[in-house]
Amino acid sequence: MTVWINGVRSEAGTVSVHDAGFVRGDGCFEALRSYGGRAFALTEHVQRLQWSADALGMTIPVAGELETWIASAASDAGDGIVRVIATRGGPDQMVAPPIVVVISEPLPARLENLALLPIRAPWHSAGRSWELAGAKTLSYGPNVNASRVARERGFTDAVLLSDDDIVLEGPTFTIGWVIDGVVETPALDLLILDSITRRYVLDLADQVVEGRFPLSRIAAASEVFAMSTIKEVVAVVRFGEFSFEPGPVTDRLARDFRAGLIDAGYSVGPRK
């Protein structure tokens, strides 16, 4: 693991305990996959980070500078993860301006499939517009707790629902399923995260329907899958009371996603 703080590389960097990101969760973040030392979808991730910072009214370095720092961390990571954390700094920004921390780290062990526990998420906007809807802010406590509750109940992770049981997204991933060969997925107007991996994967599907789907809709699915930077495309074998087998559409999307990486010049090894 290596750490870069405002572009300065350090084996063990430090951030003040008075930093607003630590004290208040006041900041934003991104996570990128690194393949063979090259960050996947670097420009898109930096653009989303800047959008989140703008939503917070926070100034961060320009895109070119951020991309240089992230590319350096990706080179350190090899096949790994690059995390970018931008905080407001503080407590007095005249003394301590915003800070950007870039961390490279190894990949976690890959899960062959997921078991998801539906959990109502009253903290989620679920289509209700507000200033930070869709931003990747550091205030991720409710999502982290949902994952914790799911694991305590014997599941891999959670899947978030609105108060009226509309399927939203996972705490750190997006969701899709297949009905009669058609991929269905929650629509972005629910103000779920505009996942970059989701964009790429849905472009590979033959037919996609985005909408507002109740939890009961999952009963009609033949297969379910999750999408994220770290997970890529992975089958879901349990979705609450519903059980599934990994299916051909999920398998094809996973293979085609990795084939697209290779075509784009990424050094892609076996799935780990």
pLDDT at 32: 95
**Angle (CA) 213 205 196, round 5°:** 75
Residue 259 has pLDDT above 60, yes or no: yes
Per-position DSSP letters for 103-124, written without gaps between them:
EEEEPPPPPSEEEEEEEE-TTS
| C-alpha radius of gyration, the chain, whole number | 19
Q: Which residues pair with 27 in a beta bridge?
A: 87
Is the per-residue pLDDT at 224 higher than 70? yes
- Please name each of the domains of the chain with its CATH number: 2-106 (3.30.470.10), 113-263 (3.20.10.10)
Model confidence pLDDT, tens digit, residues 231-242: 999 999 999 999
* DSSP letter (8 states) at residue 214: B
Q: What are phi and psi of 247, to 5 degrees?
A: -115, 175
- For residue 98, what pLDDT is reported? 84
pLDDT at position 40 is: 95
Residue 92 has pLDDT above 60, yes or no: no
Q: What is the pLDDT of residue 95?
A: 56
Which residues have C-beta within 8 Å of that of residue 68, sequence separation ≥ 6? 7
Average pLDDT value for the chain: 92
Q: Is the pLDDT of residue 262 over 60?
A: yes
Q: Which residues contact 147 (CB under 8 A, 6 or more apart)?
A: 157, 158, 171, 172
**109 vs 70: CA distance, rounded Å:** 23
Q: Tokens 């802010």 sit at which residue? A: 137
How close are the terminal C-alpha atoms of the chain, in Å?
18
Residue range 95-109: mean pLDDT, rounded: 86
Mean predicted confidence (pLDDT) in 19-25: 89
Mean pLDDT of 46-62: 93
* pTM for this prediction: 0.92
Where do we find the tokens 């699915």? 221
Among 67-71, 162-166, 191-195, 268-272, the least confident range:
268-272
What does the pLDDT look like over 167-207, one tens digit per residue?
Answer: 999 999 999 999 999 999 999 999 999 999 999 999 999 99
Mean pLDDT within 90-115: 83
What pLDDT sits at residue 150?
98
Q: Which residues make beta-bridge pairs with 81?
A: 33, 105
Which residues have CB under 8 Å from 182's CB, separation 6+? 206, 207, 208, 209
Structure tokens at 215: 């939890």
- Integer Cα distance of 140 and 216 in angstroms: 27
pLDDT in tens, 103-160: 999 998 889 999 999 999 999 999 999 898 888 999 999 999 999 999 999 999 999 9
Q: Residue 41: its pLDDT value, please?
A: 95
